[in-house]
Amino acid sequence: MDTSKATLKLLGVMSQEYETCCQRGDKENADGLYHSILNIIKNELREFASEPHFIIYLMNEAECGHDIRSVPARYLLNYYHQEGLLKWSPKN
């Protein structure tokens, strides 16, 4: 298995575990998993920060009221803000 396939498999497992943590209310481990995923894909994330449609999508998801969708969107918006890629500051 080459590195990219191994990375994709790891990301798949991590995202499934993230979802499981969210479903059982384990926010601490969900947070850790999410930030680990962000660190793995940070280069790709930077490319999307300049896409207005993607940012608007994240803003809408952050306000949707469903934790499984809104929490990751808020984390990602906060990540972009902390990295200086967004001037807009998301609501907490």
47 shares a domain with 76: yes
Confidence of residue 28 (pLDDT cuts 50, 70, 90): very high
Q: How many domains does the chain have?
A: 2
Closest to 31 measured CA to CA, from 86, 87, 74, 63? 74
47 shares a domain with 21: no
Per-residue pLDDT at 1: 46
Task: Give the structural domain span for 33.
Answer: 1-40
59 shares a domain with 33: no
Spell out the residues 6+ positions from residue 59 whose beta carbon is closer than 8 angstroms to its own. 73, 77, 90
Confidence of residue 51 (pLDDT cuts 50, 70, 90): confident
45 shares a domain with 35: no
pLDDT (mean) for 52-73: 87
63 shares a domain with 74: yes
Asked if 34 and 15 touch (Cβ cutoff 8 Å), the reply is no
